[in-house]
RNA sequence: GGCGACGUAGCCAAGUGGUCCAAGGCGGAGGUCUGCAAAACCUCUAUUCGGCGGUUCGAAUCCGCCCGUCGCCUCCA
């Protein structure tokens, strides 16, 4: 498949370094508040990438961090009067819960920054030894000007960035572009001992340390939102490549476009967000997933309740195509649709096009069924494609305790219709509909389902 | 200010030189079926791709300018 790489700014044929195994690192969250649907969107995209790579026969080793110590966590914990660990654990639990509900496959390892401190210190020490970093009053900074390719990922020139950079008074940096690898702790802040005194890791170093530790010196795919390109990923490259002497650290940089709410990016710091929890209260995981996948992962997307809601109708259409039939005759052939699907996915994960193939197959199944042809092969193909996208089209498990009562009403209505008492029959149907039960009459009898 | 991305039907959204007088979904209109609905099926719903120029035999697709929107440059998926 072809995958777009931010660093080279082009689509390139993807193949892992190591034969059948793909090493993928996706930047995780800083757990100081509930995960929002911008996170959900990003992790759904990477979930689909992973599922598709697995479909192609690769074994994927997927690592995703939690940056469970930083300024925001310290501030929020203080505000809530709890410990930083307690705060982070609370939001990590929230993350797991909502992402599980969204059907996102779990990573192989979710390393925590606070647990990787010894390894982080090792990396920093090495960078200091190599002169890529320097200690300054208990802090340690990365000497950006010593890393020649700095800016290669974000396509910026260091001197242009420095020209506009502000220099805060009292900075301990040699140069405004330098960034912290280690921060000395202030009074009352959590700290870990280090060769430079008590402190905590800077923001970017944990990802370098974790990817090195769990995936090695070179990885195949490094993912995250486009807002991480600079400075986070740029700095990761500087750290990791200076440490290993091997480039490129990540062979493909995959960045998803950002979700906007109203006129702005959805983000925790701006406060304009919808939490996953709220979204899941209102919409099914499938509707949300379909909403995200109907836009290409690299495009920005505006959150729209109207458009998420509209996905329910589309899902009903897909699900309807999977209803069993017992007709025989010519088989619906899923192959041409499967081919369109994989062609689309091979082209930098073009999920909107892949979905179009699925919807066309869906129409084909309906038409064939109308013509009395067998559709099992088509249905199998549709399910296979849906699985690759992580879309669960099979009806969810639900409480069936009301079913016998609904059956009685359906039976009653049948008798009313038989005796031409249509007003009463329609009344039953309308009242059931008001309760969320949809009836569909056909020559084969009346079917009913929840939804609609 | 610097760097980058984007602007396609009522809404969402693919398509990046001819096979596109432009996929797919939602919505809408008409029809078939039905006691009526619903679902499904059939037909229709952008002579046109932000605007203006240019390159080319040929452009939504390439180039230039303009208008508009967003992102990054500071924490952020």
pLDDT digits (tens, 9 = 90+) for A4-48: 999 988 899 999 999 899 999 999 999 999 999 999 999 999 999
Assigned fold of A324-397: 1.20.120
The rounded radius of gyration (Å) of the Cα atoms in chain A is 27
Tell if A28 CB is < 7 Å from nucleic strand B.
yes
Specify the nucleotide whose C1' lies closest to residue A46 (CA). B77
Would you state the structure tokens that stand for residue A233, as one six-digit string? Answer: 């990923």
Determine the distance between A177 (CA) and B2 (C1') in angstroms: 15
Specify the nucleotide whose C1' lies closest to residue A157 (CA). B3
* Residue A173: φ, ψ to 5°: -85, 155
Query: Which residues of chain A (82-101) touch nucleic strand B at CB < 7 A?
Result: none
Tell if A259 CB is < 7 Å from nucleic strand B.
yes
The residue count for chain A = 452
Determine the distance between A351 (CA) and B22 (C1') in angstroms: 19
Pair A407, A306: CB distance under 8 Å? no
Give the residue-averaged pLDDT of A267-276. 86
pLDDT at A136: 93
Determine the distance between A372 (CA) and B41 (C1') in angstroms: 13
pLDDT at A142: 95
Determine the distance between A225 (CA) and B54 (C1') in angstroms: 37
Pair A146, A131: CB distance under 8 Å? yes
Tell whether the model's pLDDT for residue A163 goes beyond 70.
no
pLDDT at A328: 77
Q: Which residue is nearest to nucleotide B35 (CA to C1')?
A: A422
Q: Which residue is nearest to nucleotide B73 (CA to C1')?
A: A161
pLDDT band at A172 (very low <50, low <70, confident <90, very high): confident
C-alpha to C-alpha distance for A244 and A231, rounded to whole angstroms: 20
pLDDT at A72: 92
pLDDT digits (tens, 9 = 90+) for A37-78: 999 999 999 999 999 999 999 999 999 999 999 999 999 999
Pair A63, A210: CB distance under 8 Å? yes
Q: A391: helix, coil or strand?
A: coil
Pair A224, A26: CB distance under 8 Å? yes
Query: Which residues does A73 contact at the CB level (< 8 Å), separation at least 6?
Result: A30, A31, A32, A84, A87, A88
Burial bucket for residue A4 (CB in 10 Å: 0-12, 13-18, 19+) = buried
Q: What share of chain A is helix, strand, coil (3-state, %, to 5)?
A: 45, 20, 35
* ipTM (interface predicted TM): 0.95
What does the domain layout of chain A look like in residue ranges? 2-135+144-158+202-265, 324-397, 403-450
Q: Domain A2-135+144-158+202-265 is classified in which CATH homologous superfamily?
A: HUPs (3.40.50.620)
DSSP-derived secondary structure for A125-189: HHHHHTTSEEEETTEEEE-GGG-TTTTTTTT--HHHHHHH----TT---SSTT-EEEEEEPPTTS
Tell if A114 CB is < 7 Å from nucleic strand B.
no
Tell if A194 CB is < 7 Å from nucleic strand B.
no
Determine the distance between A361 (CA) and B27 (C1') in angstroms: 22
pLDDT digits (tens, 9 = 90+) for A304-355: 999 999 999 999 999 999 988 877 788 899 999 999 999 999 999 999 999 9
Q: Which residue is nearest to nucleotide B69 (CA to C1')?
A: A263
Tell if A154 CB is < 7 Å from nucleic strand B.
yes
- CB crowding A308-346: b at 16 or more within 10 Å, else e: beebbebbeebbebbeeeeeeeeebebeebbebbbebbb
Tell if A425 CB is < 7 Å from nucleic strand B.
yes
* Residue A331: φ, ψ to 5°: -90, 140
pLDDT at A166: 53
pLDDT digits (tens, 9 = 90+) for A197-221: 999 999 999 999 999 999 999 999 9
- For the ranges A151-160, A254-263, A319-328, the maximum mean pLDDT occurs at A254-263
Pair A279, A40: CB distance under 8 Å? yes
pLDDT band at A96 (very low <50, low <70, confident <90, very high): very high
Which positions in strand B are less than 7 Å from the protein's CB atoms?
1-6, 11-15, 23-27, 34-42, 69-77
Tell if A256 CB is < 7 Å from nucleic strand B.
yes
Tell if A232 CB is < 7 Å from nucleic strand B.
yes
% pLDDT > 70, chain A: 97
Tell whether the model's pLDDT for residue A363 goes beyond 80.
yes
Tell if A403 CB is < 7 Å from nucleic strand B.
no
pLDDT band at A170 (very low <50, low <70, confident <90, very high): low
């Amino acid at each position: 498949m072809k995958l777009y790489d931010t660093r080279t700014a082009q689509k390139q044929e993807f193949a892992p370094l190591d034969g059948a195994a793909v090493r993928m690192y996706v930047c995780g969250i800083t757990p100081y508040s509930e995960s929002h649907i911008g996170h959900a969107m990003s992790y759904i995209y990477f979930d689909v990438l992973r599922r598709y790579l697995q479909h192609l026969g690769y074994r994927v080793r997927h690592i995703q961090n939690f940056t469970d110590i930083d300024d925001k966590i310290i501030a929020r914990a203080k505000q809530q009067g709890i410990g930083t660990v307690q705060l982070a654990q609370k939001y990590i639990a929230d993350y797991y819960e909502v992402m599980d509900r969204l059907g996102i496959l779990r990573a192989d390892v979710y390393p925590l920054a606070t647990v990787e401190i010894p390894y982080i210190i090792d990396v920093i020490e090495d960078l200091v030894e190599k002169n890529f970093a320097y200690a300054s009053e208990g802090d340690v900074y990365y000497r950006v000007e010593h890393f020649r390719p700095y800016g290669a990922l974000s396509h910026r020139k260091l001197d242009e960035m420095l020209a506009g950079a502000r220099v805060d008074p009292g900075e301990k940096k040699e140069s405004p572009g330098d960034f912290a690898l280690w921060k000395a702790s202030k009074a009352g802040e959590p700290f870990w001992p280090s060769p430079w005194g008590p402190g905590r890791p800077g923001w970017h170093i944990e990802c370098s340390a974790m990817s090195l530790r769990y995936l090695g010196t070179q990885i195949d795919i490094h993912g995250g939102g486009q807002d991480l390109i600079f400075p986070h990923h740029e700095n990761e490259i500087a750290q990791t490549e200076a440490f290993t002497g091997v480039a490129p650290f990540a062979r493909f940089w995959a960045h998803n476009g950002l979700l906007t709410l109203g006129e702005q990016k959805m983000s925790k710091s701006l406060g304009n967000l919808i939490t996953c929890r709220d979204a899941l209260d209102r919409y099914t995981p499938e509707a949300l997933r379909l909403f995200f996948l109907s836009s290409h992962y690299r495009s920005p997307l505006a959150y729209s309740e109207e458009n998420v809601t509209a996905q329910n109708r589309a899902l009903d259409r897909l699900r309807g195509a999977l209803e069993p039939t017992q007709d025989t005759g010519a088989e619906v052939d899923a192959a041409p649709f499967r081919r369109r699907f994989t062609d689309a996915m091979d082209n930098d994960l073009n999920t909107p096009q892949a979905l179009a193939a699925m919807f066309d197959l869906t129409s084909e199944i309906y038409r064939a069924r109308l013509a009395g042809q067998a559709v099992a092969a088509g249905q199998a193909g549709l399910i296979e494609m849906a699985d690759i996208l992580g879309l669960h089209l099979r009806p969810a498990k639900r409480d069936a305790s009301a079913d016998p009562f609904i059956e009685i009403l359906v039976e009653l209505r049948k008798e009313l219709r038989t005796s031409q008492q249509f007003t009463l029959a329609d009344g039953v149907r309308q009242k059931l509909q008001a309760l969320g039960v949809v009836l569909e009459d056909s020559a084969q009898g009346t079917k009913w389902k929840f939804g609609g």
